[in-house]
Amino acid sequence: MNAASSATTTRGTRTAARVAGAVKVYGAGDTAVRALDGIDVTFPAGRFTAIMGPSGSGKSTLMHCAAGLDTLTSGAAFIGDTELGTLDDRRLTLLRRDRVGFVFQVFNLVPTLTVAENITLPMDLAGRGRGRGRGGEGGSDGSSDPWIDALVDVVGLRDRLRHRPAELSGGQQQRVAVARAFAGRPDVVFADEPTGNLDSRSGEEVLNLLGRAVRQMDRTVVMVTHDPVAAAHADEVVFLADGRLVDHMESPTADRVLDRLKAFDNGSDARSDGRRDSRSAGGSDGRFGSGFGSEGVMP
Ligand SMILES: Nc1ncnc2c1ncn2[C@@H]1O[C@H](COP(=O)(O)OP(=O)(O)OP(=O)(O)O)[C@@H](O)[C@H]1O
């Protein structure tokens, strides 16, 4: 790849993940769906980025391809400097395990393990030492690994470490899933509708956690969401429409995100000739490629 594959943007920030010229086509012939239609986007390290857009715009596809859960039809996806398309299945599995964390709408906790064991499960599977025995067995306060210890405090689960998932509320279970996603200090945590199964208060807690992990623990989060309130927790929102990036917004508020989404309904992200704007208007740092509108369209 060319210099653009460097894990540093021209602004000097580190790149946690990015896709370049990303195209994803499902199916073939008359039934083919172009879910991603040439996307360039960089997710900077130490930032919380939300991906938004109408239903079917390609949000989940983008996340899955960027995270190595699915492959692109053409273009390239990177975690740091590693191009995912160059990895065989085994190395891709290892990369997902060691360098990427995931939080999904469903919590995916192991019911027979304690909270502490669930949090450290990926590290235990990877054979990475935590300086103590299995979670919940080595002391009342969890782990002697300072990182896990700090994480347990951030997610507020210290008094629940010996409980099993069934003994927790949905919000608490998702907090365990968040802690598990960050446990191995991954380059980036991808979250797909992480509050979709939660009431608004529990959802707010989980979103606050994601924000704290980024701002207090220098982590990186990329979150797909339908919810403008959720997106407002991010540092930045990128907007998709019809498989293309059409806009981005720094320091979002729920009202501004909602207004921007309403503009999709009015078709204001499309050019008068019916094609999307192909100017590169993503700012001076080169993070966004063609097909990206200007933030100036927003009120
Ligand atoms: N496995 C698949 N096979 C065929 N088409 C697919 C597949 N997955 C997604 N698509 C199509 O690709 C397009 C993008 O889907 P995607 O799920 O990425 O959108 P989304 O923005 O995440 O949608 P939503 O907000 O409804 O979850 C849609 O037209 C969808 O129907």
Give one DSSP letter per residue of 61-103, joined into a string. HHHHHHTTSS--SEEEEEETTEEGGGS-HHHHHHHHHHHEEEE
User: How would you class 189 by CB atoms within 10 Å of its CB: exposed for 0-12, middle for 13-18, buried for 19 or more?
Assistant: buried
Residue with tokens 């509320």: 169
Decide if pLDDT at 280 tops 60: no
Handedness of CA 56, 59, 63, 66 (dihedral sign): positive
3-state secondary structure 33-71: EEEEEEEEEEEECCCEEEEECCCCCCHHHHHHHHCCCCC
Predicted pLDDT at 126: 77
State the Cα torsion 192-247-287-223 to the nearest 10°: -10
Atom 2, ligand 1: which residue's CA is nearest? 26
State the pLDDT confidence band at 7, using cuts at 50, 70 and 90.
Answer: low
Nearest to 252 by CA among 240, 266, 238: 238
Q: Ligand 1, residues 37, 57, 64: which to mutate, most atoms within 8 A of Cβ?
A: 57
Residue 43 backbone dihedrals phi, psi, to 5 degrees:
-110, 105
DSSP string, 180-203: HHHHT--SEEEEESTTTTS-HHHH
Query: For the segment 225-274, what is each residue's pLDDT rounded down to a tens digit?
Result: 999 999 999 999 999 999 999 999 999 999 999 999 888 777 654 433 33
Decide if pLDDT at 213 tops 70: yes
What are the structural domains, with CATH classification, of the chain? 3-104+187-293 (3.40.50.300)
Q: Which residues contact 88 (CB under 8 A, 6 or more apart)?
A: none
Query: For the segment 33-72, what is each residue's pLDDT rounded down to a tens digit?
Result: 999 999 999 999 999 999 999 999 999 999 999 999 999 9
Q: Where does ligand 1 bind, in terms of residues with CB under 6 Å?
A: 26-27, 33, 35, 53, 55-61, 226
Mean pLDDT of the 271-282 span: 36
Query: For the segment 64-95, what is each residue's pLDDT rounded down to a tens digit?
Result: 999 999 999 999 999 999 999 999 999 999 99
Consecutive H or E run containing 18: strand 15-26
Distance CA 74, CA 256 (A): 33
Mean pLDDT of the 107-123 span: 93
Distance CA 222, CA 67 (A): 10
Predicted pLDDT at 49: 98
Query: For the segment 126-181, what is each residue's pLDDT rounded down to a tens digit?
Result: 776 544 434 444 433 445 688 888 889 888 899 999 999 999 999 999 999 999 99
Decide if pLDDT at 189 tops 90: yes
Residue 265's CB is within 10 A of a number of other CB atoms, namely 8
Q: Ligand 1, residues 59, 64, 192, 237: which to mutate, most atoms within 8 A of Cβ?
A: 59
Q: Ligand 1, residues 23, 30, 33, 193: which to mutate, most atoms within 8 A of Cβ?
A: 33
Decide if pLDDT at 30 tops 50: yes
Residue 106, both tokens: 């469903």
Residue 140's CB is within 10 A of a number of other CB atoms, namely 9
Mean pLDDT of the 201-219 span: 91
Distance CA 75, CA 124 (A): 34
Complex-level ipTM:
0.98
